């Protein structure tokens, strides 16, 4: 067998393993298989750029489950793909073209611009797919999909036509969330909200009859250009005499009515509000109730249009400033007050959202509410964690119709054609190309220029990727899929809409479970400047603090959403290059709790890089030292030994204990993975391998492997080492696939016939174990199964561990160097089970406790005078101070005595001082008396110890 390198080199191993997996098509699923299916469709990354840490997390979690189920003999399919991401991709490409060619979208013909986006898509998709491979994702690459592939585009057209024909899709003039930067409508759940410092402006609107004026309060002065009424509450006695009167809208000089409406809050500001139906949702509803005129004052790019007269062409912000100044000059500005305002922000461009009246396409949501609600309530889709269920219900309860049209060029163009003579005459066509009527008379028909919301095609993803609308084998075998894993930020964007479309199109839920993970936060570091501003630290300075360097007094830190401006973005590929993929995956998985926020501490990557090295070094020790035994002509493990299995009657306490721990670990790990406790699934194997297998069992086997014990004991130890290692490799493979695949291959090269006893014990495990040895790769081997364990072993071994813990503590208190051995005295005045157990396993305690000699005494007088003692059940464990350390201990005690004497004299002088006793508060005196007693007691104890050294 080729030796393992001295140190683990992730880059070298990972490149080799990726090629091995790819060359052998291990991840290709078979739709004709008789195995039970387990399927996942990847949340498709946007082709806007490269993967971020959120992608690394979600795809690691999916890969863990798909590898786990593949090893459990499921027919496991993980469908790869990418999303065209309409607004996001068009925006980033347009910025790219402006920088490169100095040309905007509208400087191109539509087809020319789309060609640029396709070129971008090909380039970025190639990068993304390679990053997914680098992350170790075991996707079935033969089934790669893109949301604008022809088959998926056909699915979009078929669903659109079905909904259109059934009256579930409609078109109309409605107030929508308008993004003036991307110049498109957004659905409600594509709008983020934030609170800003703003103002309320109080404007006086003169009454037409010149009898006075009414003061209205507004947070948006610029929209007054589109006012068509003033509203007051019917319960507000102050304004009853004004209802029905007319005012003259300042600047515009338009006559508008004062109306009463129940939505007005009389307690807000003056209790009178201006009504601007084209630019406010409440005002729009009011206009519908009162049949008011609707006047749009904004252009698609967020400027004042011709209805704004003298303010034409100004941005909304500039218009606000100009209008406030104009109202002030007209003596119609009563006052301005500070006000916290909640505003909508585009989730893509971060532009301020403007309510805007435009013609859009919508999906009616009311017909779907009951099934969307029942899918979760009836547990047809198991939403994990439970806490998201109430959030989901609240969203469904407040559903509005879904605006599905976008004023973009990139995406699925709406499959509607309008007749030139009558736009109300439409053709909805779901085939590729042009409808027959359009082909016959192309000059009479025009296709709708808008495209569909990205989430419309994404909502079809679980079945369109499996071949729908065609009746494919994949669809029959793998739909509904098994689980969806995604972040809570797209619970409504995507998860709910997939449930909607799955139930509507397939009459079946799209996935049986949904695991919602938290969003990743990075630690940002900043300084508070003298002027009140905040300065975020640069990456180089930040990295020092990430790795544990103490913060200066003027530097602060907090966990925040990752942002380039805050310097807390962590690039997953850079992390992989620095720490290795396995360490990156384990670290991310260990943080995947059921919480809404994941604080990504970079020190985690370092911790799990050390763990990967620990796995490698332990494997190297086990395999290479067994080979060295052969070279030294010591009895070692032969092919015949392996075939004969374990010698049960020669199993020692530590053998039975490590087998028990292994079986329990396997059982718990399966539970954690089945129940999506990813954080525990990451830390459990770590704890077993490092704390149990390496720290205890591996150390306990060394005397057997290298010493002159009888062959049966040595062979058992060697086989158990290999057996546990081989089991751990398969146990950890879903989370750490690269290092485990490499070690799996090395074990098979040297021990192709490794097995267990055929004499009854562990038989249930033998078949699974033997089958794994026949596999070509760890990725397609059998996942370990728990097996029969030995009774009473764990409690007995816990006593050995407790004894070692006591011994190590005493040695640490004495500051005994790790390399120096000490003696151990054990006192017990009667025969007990603990004493018998310690005597039987004295060699283990001596080995791991660094004990030169163990002496048993039944009279306390026989214990040495100088040392330290601790209780273990009925036993007293005593470690004498080593002779060579006595002088050192005497010096330490003399120094401590001198220090305590000074303290004692100070306390004594104070307590004899009459002035102090008369004037000091009683609690101060009491504290000092108590301190004096403690100091005196410590002095006595030290003097006794010093006295014992002189005897």
Instruction: Tell me the three state secondary structure of residue 406.
Output: strand
| Upper half-sphere CA count for residue 598 (Cβ side, 13 Å) | 24
Instruction: Tell me the three state secondary structure of residue 430.
Output: coil
Q: Which residues pair with 366 in a beta bridge?
A: none
Q: Phi and psi (nearest 5°) for 364? A: -70, 125
895 contact partners, CB below 8 Å, separation of at least 6? none
* Most confident of the ranges 345-359, 401-415, 829-843: 401-415
Q: Phi and psi (nearest 5°) for 633? A: 65, 20
Contact criterion met (CB below 8 Å) for 141 and 21: no
* Mean predicted lDDT score pLDDT of the chain: 88
Is the peptide bond between 649 and the residue preceding it cis, with omega within 30 degrees of 0? no
Q: What percent of the chain has pLDDT over 90?
A: 52
Q: SS3 letters for 760-772?
A: CCCHHHHHHHHHH
List the structure tokens of 723.
């057996």
Q: Can you give the length of the chain in residues?
A: 951
Q: Which residue has the higher pLDDT, 627 or 351?
A: 351
Beta strands in 529-672 (DSSP E): 534-536, 555-561, 597-599
pLDDT single digits (tens) 404-454: 998 889 999 999 999 998 988 999 999 999 999 999 999 999 999 999 999
The helices-and-strands tally (H runs, E runs) of the chain is: 31, 31
Q: What is the Cα–Cα distance from 299 to 529, expressed in whole angstroms?
A: 41
Instruction: Write down the pLDDT at residue 222.
Output: 92
Q: What is the Cα–Cα distance from 390 to 373, expressed in whole angstroms?
A: 11
Nearest to 251 by CA among 311, 335, 180: 311
Look at the alpha carbons of 183, 185, 186, 191 in this order and tell me if their dihedral is positive or negative: positive
326 burial level (CB within 10 Å; 0-12, 13-18, 19+): middle
Q: What is the Cα–Cα distance from 30 to 24, expressed in whole angstroms?
A: 14
pLDDT at residue 924 tops 60: yes
Q: What is the Cα–Cα distance from 752 to 639, expressed in whole angstroms?
A: 9
Q: What percent of the chain has pLDDT over 70?
A: 91
Q: Please, which pLDDT band fits residue 689 given cuts at 50, 70 and 90?
A: very high
Q: What is the Cα–Cα distance from 152 to 157, expressed in whole angstroms?
A: 9
| Upper half-sphere CA count for residue 481 (Cβ side, 13 Å) | 27
pLDDT single digits (tens) 723-771: 899 999 999 999 999 999 999 998 887 766 555 444 434 444 456 666 6
162 contact partners, CB below 8 Å, separation of at least 6? 505
Under DSSP, the state recorded for 74 is -
Instruction: Write down the pLDDT at residue 480.
Output: 97
Q: Which residue has the higher pLDDT, 675 or 340?
A: 675
Look at the alpha carbons of 453, 455, 460, 465 in this order and tell me if their dihedral is positive or negative: positive
Instruction: Write down the pLDDT at residue 457.
Output: 96
Instruction: Write down the pLDDT at residue 679.
Output: 96
List the structure tokens of 644.
């004969």
302 contact partners, CB below 8 Å, separation of at least 6? 180, 181, 315, 316, 351, 354
Q: Phi and psi (nearest 5°) for 197? A: -80, 120
CA dihedral 183, 188, 192, 195 (to 10 degrees): 100
Instruction: Tell me the three state secondary structure of residue 882.
Output: coil
Q: How far is CA 519 from the centre of its chain?
A: 5
Nearest to 721 by CA among 734, 735, 706: 706
Q: What is the Cα–Cα distance from 746 to 739, expressed in whole angstroms?
A: 11
Q: What is the Cα–Cα distance from 362 to 403, expressed in whole angstroms?
A: 4
Average pLDDT, integer, range 281-291: 88
pLDDT single digits (tens) 791-831: 889 999 999 999 999 999 888 888 888 888 888 998 888 88
CA distances (Å), 656 to each of 177, 330, 716, in order?
Answer: 67, 94, 11
Q: Phi and psi (nearest 5°) for 667? A: -60, -45
pLDDT single digits (tens) 889-917: 788 888 888 999 999 999 888 888 888 88
Contact criterion met (CB below 8 Å) for 404 and 363: yes
pLDDT single digits (tens) 157-211: 999 999 999 999 999 888 888 888 888 888 776 788 888 888 999 999 999 998 8
pLDDT at residue 644 tops 60: no
Contact criterion met (CB below 8 Å) for 358 and 178: yes
pLDDT single digits (tens) 503-546: 999 999 999 999 999 888 877 777 776 666 667 776 666 666 77
Window from 25-29, 578-582, 807-811 with minimum mean pLDDT: 807-811
Instruction: Write down the pLDDT at residue 761.
Output: 41
Nearest to 257 by CA among 247, 242, 266, 270: 247
Q: Which residues pair with 258 in a beta bridge?
A: 230
Other CB atoms within 10 Å distance of the CB of residue 803: 25
Instruction: Write down the pLDDT at residue 649.
Output: 77
Average pLDDT, integer, range 56-79: 97
Nearest to 158 by CA among 666, 600, 503, 505: 505
Q: What is the Cα–Cα distance from 451 to 413, expressed in whole angstroms?
A: 4
Nearest to 161 by CA among 359, 361, 440: 361
pLDDT at residue 361 tops 70: yes
Q: What is the pTM of this model?
A: 0.82
List the structure tokens of 193.
């909200």
Helix (H) or strand (E) holding 631: helix 603-631
Window from 128-132, 264-268, 678-682 with minimum mean pLDDT: 264-268
CA distances (Å), 830 to each of 235, 570, 577, 833, 859, in order?
Answer: 92, 62, 61, 10, 10
pLDDT at residue 642 tops 60: no
Average pLDDT, integer, range 484-510: 92
């Amino acid at each position: 067998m080729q030796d393992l390198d001295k140190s683990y080199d992730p880059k070298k191993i990972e490149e080799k393993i990726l090629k091995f997996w790819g060359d052998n098509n291990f991840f290709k699923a078979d739709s004709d298989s008789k195995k039970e299916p387990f399927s996942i469709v990847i949340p498709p990354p946007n082709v806007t750029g490269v993967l971020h840490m959120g992608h690394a997390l979600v795809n690691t979690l999916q890969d863990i489950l798909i590898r786990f189920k593949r090893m459990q003999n499921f027919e496991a399919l993980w469908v790869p793909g990418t999303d065209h991401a309409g607004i996001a991709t068009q925006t980033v490409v347009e910025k790219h073209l402006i920088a490169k060619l100095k040309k905007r979208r509208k400087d191109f013909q539509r087809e020319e611009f789309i060609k640029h986006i396709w070129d971008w898509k090909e380039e970025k998709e190639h990068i993304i797919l390679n990053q997914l491979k680098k992350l170790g994702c075991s996707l079935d690459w033969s089934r790669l999909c893109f949301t604008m592939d022809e088959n998926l585009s056909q699915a979009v057209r078929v669903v659109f036509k079905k909904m259109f024909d059934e009256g579930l899709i409609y078109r109309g003039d409605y107030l929508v969330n308008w993004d003036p930067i991307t110049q498109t409508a957004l659905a409600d759940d594509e709008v983020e909200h934030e609170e800003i410092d703003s103002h309320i402006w109080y404007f006086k609107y003169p009454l037409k009859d010149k009898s006075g004026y009414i003061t209205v309060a507004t947070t948006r002065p610029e929209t007054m250009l589109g006012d068509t009424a003033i509203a007051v509450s019917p319960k507000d006695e102050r304004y009853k005499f004004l209802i029905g009167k007319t005012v003259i809208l300042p600047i515009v000089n338009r006559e508008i009515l004062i109306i009463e409406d129940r939505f007005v809050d009389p307690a807000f500001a003056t209790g009178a509000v201006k009504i601007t139906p084209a630019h406010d949702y409440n005002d729009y509803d009011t206009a519908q109730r009162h049949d008011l005129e609707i006047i749009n004052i904004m252009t698609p790019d967020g400027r004042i249009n011709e209805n704004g007269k003298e303010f034409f062409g100004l941005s909304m912000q500039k218009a606000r400033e100009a209008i406030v100044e104009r109202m002030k000059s007209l003596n119609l500005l009563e006052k301005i007050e500070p006000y916290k305002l909640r505003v909508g922000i585009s989730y893509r461009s971060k532009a301020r959202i403007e309510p805007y009246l435009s013609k859009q396409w919508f999906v009616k949501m009311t017909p779907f509410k009951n099934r969307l609600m029942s899918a979760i309530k009836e547990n047809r889709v198991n939403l994990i964690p439970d806490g998201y269920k109430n959030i989901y219900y609240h969203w469904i309860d407040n559903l509005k119709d879904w605006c599905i049209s976008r004023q973009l060029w990139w995406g699925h163009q709406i499959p509607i054609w309008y007749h030139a003579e009558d736009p109300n005459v439409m053709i909805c066509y779901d085939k590729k190309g042009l409808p027959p009527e359009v082909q016959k008379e192309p000059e009479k028909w025009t296709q709708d220029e808008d495209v569909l919301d990205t989430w419309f095609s994404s909502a079809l993803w679980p079945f369109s990727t499996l071949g729908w609308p065609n009746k494919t084998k994949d669809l029959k075998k793998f739909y509904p899929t098994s689980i969806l894993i995604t972040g809570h930020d797209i619970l409504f964007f995507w998860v709910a809409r997939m449930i909607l479309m799955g139930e509507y199109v397939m009459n079946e839920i799209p996935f049986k479970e949904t695991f919602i993970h938290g969003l990743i936060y990075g630690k940002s570091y900043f300084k508070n400047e003298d002027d009140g501003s905040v300065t975020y630290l640069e990456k180089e300075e930040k990295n020092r603090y990430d790795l544990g360097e103490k913060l200066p007094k003027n530097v602060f830190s907090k966990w925040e959403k990752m942002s380039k401006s805050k310097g807390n973005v962590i690039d997953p590929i850079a992390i992989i290059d620095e720490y290795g993929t396995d360490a990156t995956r384990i670290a991310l998985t260990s943080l995947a709790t059921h919480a809404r926020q994941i604080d990504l501490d970079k020190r985690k990557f370092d911790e799990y890089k050390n763990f990967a090295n620990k796995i490698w070094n332990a494997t190297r020790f086990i395999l290479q030292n067994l080979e060295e035994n052969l070279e030294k002509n010591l009895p070692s493990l032969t092919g015949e030994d392996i075939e004969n299995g374990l010698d049960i009657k020669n199993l020692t306490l530590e053998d039975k204990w490590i087998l028990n721990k292994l079986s329990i670990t396997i059982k718990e790990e399966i539970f954690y993975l089945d129940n999506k406790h990813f954080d525990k699934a990451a830390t459990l194997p770590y704890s077993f391998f490092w704390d149990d297998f390496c720290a205890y069992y591996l150390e306990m086997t060394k005397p057997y492997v290298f010493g002159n014990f009888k062959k049966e004991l040595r062979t058992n130890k060697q086989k158990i080492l290999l057996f546990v290692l081989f089991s751990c490799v398969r146990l950890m493979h879903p989370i750490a696939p690269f290092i485990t695949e490499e070690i799996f291959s090395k074990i098979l090269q040297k021990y192709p016939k490794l097995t267990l006893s055929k004499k009854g014990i562990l038989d249930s495990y033998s078949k699974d174990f033997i089958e794994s040895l026949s596999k070509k790769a760890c990725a397609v081997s059998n996942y370990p199964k728990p097996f029969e364990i030995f009774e009473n072993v764990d409690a007995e071994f816990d006593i050995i561990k407790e004894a070692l813990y006591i011994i190590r503590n005493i040695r640490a208190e004495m500051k005994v160097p790790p390399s120096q051995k000490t003696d151990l005295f054990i006192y017990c005045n009667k025969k007990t089970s603990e004493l018998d157990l310690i005597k039987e396993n004295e060699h283990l305690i001596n080995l791991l406790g660094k004990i030169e000699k163990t002496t048993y005494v039944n009279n306390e007088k026989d214990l040495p005078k100088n040392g330290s003692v601790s209780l273990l059940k009925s036993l007293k464990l005593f470690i004498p101070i080593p002779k060579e350390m006595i002088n050192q201990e005497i010096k330490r005690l003399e120094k401590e005595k001198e220090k305590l004497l000074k303290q004692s004299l100070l306390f004594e002088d104070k307590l004899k001082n009459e002035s102090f006793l008369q004037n000091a508060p009683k609690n101060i005196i009491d504290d000092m008396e108590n301190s004096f007693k403690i100091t005196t007691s410590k002095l006595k104890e030290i003097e006794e110890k010093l006295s014992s050294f002189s005897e």
